[in-house]
């Protein structure tokens, strides 16, 4: 699927590319550690945006900050169409539990999902692509997309798109750290690689009353309990099981006294799916199920369903590009096939407009038995993954512009 001319072009550069990345490796590790020590939450990545912008400007590039002041877009090279490379900037509201020199300096905030690694890798790719352009060896245009608020709902991908970040882009690539894969490996999959991720809030209301006389009021806590237990079961009978539609509650709240039936109760959770068609149907199916389950108890029902992200569906041709780049620039046996995850990724919004692919970048230290999973305060990486990520992004871009 990858044109022979493009493969020949990359093969001719493959021996030299590691030496083009190498001069930046120490700087990229230092950048990652600086970002890790100064994490910023979604749509508040002001310092992170400034640090990235200033480094790209020093390289002679002309980044454009997004209208909200967080995130930026930067074109490298020339041409009527561009290949997009995307990284996310934001951290999570999680405490850093590691004892390392670059531990978060901001209480309750941490780069626990590897976005600092993604950003450093894309900066590295941008610097190498800039060098290639200056030497006349970049035969096209590459757009660097440093996106805010990937962890937010709605995600920052929509900010980039609304600001014209995809204008002229014909395909797009991104990386995501994989703590279950060794550094030096690249996980790929054609078709769905992540699930959808939405938010649902169920609020029940009634007159309240004494627990001695539930028949004279609406037993709201019992009705809420039925919704919590029965609605996920209903979904398994209303939606094709192969779609993997999953409703998991994360917060339940009702009442304040043991002998009083409350007037209001809430359950809040996430809805995830492996299938785009099931994702489209989910809001209607879930609201119908909630109303049907609690109907016998005489409570008022409010269901608030918020779209998060659709599944990331990798394009076959773009996966072939990333696989070819990985084999040539990381190693012959670097590519591994990965399973689809129910975790959400707002990279999916870009793929609603242009074809692309997400690759899982191995970040586990070889021989390390315990994986430091994503969204944990102990999450950390083997920093050799940064330079390898830069190589992979450069390779995918070059195979797409040749």
Tens digit of each residue's pLDDT, the chain (402 residues): 788 888 888 888 888 888 899 999 999 999 999 999 999 999 999 999 999 999 999 999 999 999 999 999 999 999 999 999 999 999 999 999 999 999 999 999 999 999 999 999 999 999 999 999 999 999 999 999 999 999 998 899 999 999 999 999 999 999 999 999 999 999 999 999 999 999 999 999 999 999 999 999 999 999 999 999 999 999 999 999 989 999 999 999 999 999 999 999 999 999 999 998 999 999 999 999 999 999 999 999 999 999 999 999 999 999 999 999 999 999 999 999 999 998 999 999 999 999 999 999 999 999 887 767 899 999 999 999 999 999 999 999 999 998
DSSP secondary structure letter of residue 400:
H
Residues contacting 280, CB < 8 A, separation 6+: none
Please, where are the H alpha helices in 59-174?
A: 115-134, 157-162
- On whether the pTM is more than 0.85, the answer is yes
- Dist. CA 193–CA 312, nearest whole Å: 6
| SS3 call for 124 | helix
Distances (CA, A) of 37 to 18, 24, 101, 119, 368: 28, 20, 9, 14, 24
For the chain, the first-to-last Cα distance in angstroms comes to 14
- Dist. CA 297–CA 306, nearest whole Å: 26
272 with 344: CB under 8 angstroms?
Answer: yes
DSSP bridge partners of 249: 269
Structurally, at CATH architecture level, domain 196-309 sits in 2-Layer Sandwich (3.30)
Q: What is the CATH number of domain 4-194+311-401?
A: 3.40.630.10
397 with 136: CB under 8 angstroms?
Answer: no
| SS3 call for 4 | helix
- Dist. CA 66–CA 87, nearest whole Å: 14
Where in the chain are the domains?
4-194+311-401, 196-309
- Dist. CA 4–CA 36, nearest whole Å: 40
């Amino acid at each position: 699927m990858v044109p022979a001319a493009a493969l020949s072009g990359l093969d001719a550069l493959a021996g030299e590319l590691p030496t083009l990345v190498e001069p930046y490796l120490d700087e990229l590790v230092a950048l990652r550690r600086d970002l890790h020590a100064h994490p910023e939450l979604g749509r508040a990545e002001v310092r992170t945006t400034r640090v990235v912008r200033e480094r790209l400007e020093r390289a002679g590039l002309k980044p454009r900050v997004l209208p909200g002041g967080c995130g930026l877009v930067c074109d490298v090279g020339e041409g009527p169409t561009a290949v997009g490379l995307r990284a996310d900037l934001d951290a999570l509201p999680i405490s850093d539990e590691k004892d390392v020199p670059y531990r978060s300096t901001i209480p309750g905030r941490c780069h626990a999902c590897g976005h600092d690694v993604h950003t450093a890798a894309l900066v590295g790719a941008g610097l190498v692509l800039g060098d290639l352009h200056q030497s006349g060896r970049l035969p096209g245009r590459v757009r660097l997309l440093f996106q805010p608020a990937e962890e937010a709902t709605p995600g920052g991908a929509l900010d980039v798109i609304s600001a014209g970040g995809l204008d002229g882009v014909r395909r797009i690539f991104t990386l995501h750290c994989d703590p279950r894969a060794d550094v030096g490996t690249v996980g790929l999959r054609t078709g769905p690689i992540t699930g959808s991720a939405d938010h649902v809030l169920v609020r029940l209301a009634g007159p309240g009353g004494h627990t001695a006389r539930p028949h004279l009021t609406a037993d709201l806590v019992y009705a809420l309990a039925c919704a919590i237990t029965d609605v996920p079961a209903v979904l398994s009978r209303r939606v094709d099981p192969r779609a993997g539609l999953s409703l998991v509650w994360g917060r339940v709240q009702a009442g304040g006294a043991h002998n009083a039936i409350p007037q209001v109760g809430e359950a809040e959770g996430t809805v995830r799916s492996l299938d785009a068609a099931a994702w489209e149907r989910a809001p209607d199916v879930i609201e119908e199920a909630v109303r049907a389950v609690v109907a016998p108890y005489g409570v008022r029902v409010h269901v608030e369903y918020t779209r998060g992200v659709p599944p990331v569906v990798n394009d076959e041709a773009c996966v072939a590009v990333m696989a070819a780049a990985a084999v040539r620039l990381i190693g012959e046996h670097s590519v591994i096939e990965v399973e689809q995850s129910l975790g959400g990724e707002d990279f999916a919004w870009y793929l609603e407009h242009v074809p692309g692919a997400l690759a899982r970048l191995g970040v586990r230290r070889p021989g390390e038995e315990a994986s430091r999973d994503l969204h944990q305060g102990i999450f950390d990486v083997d920093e050799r993954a940064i330079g390898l990520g830069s190589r992979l992004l450069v390779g995918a871009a070059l195979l797409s512009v040749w």
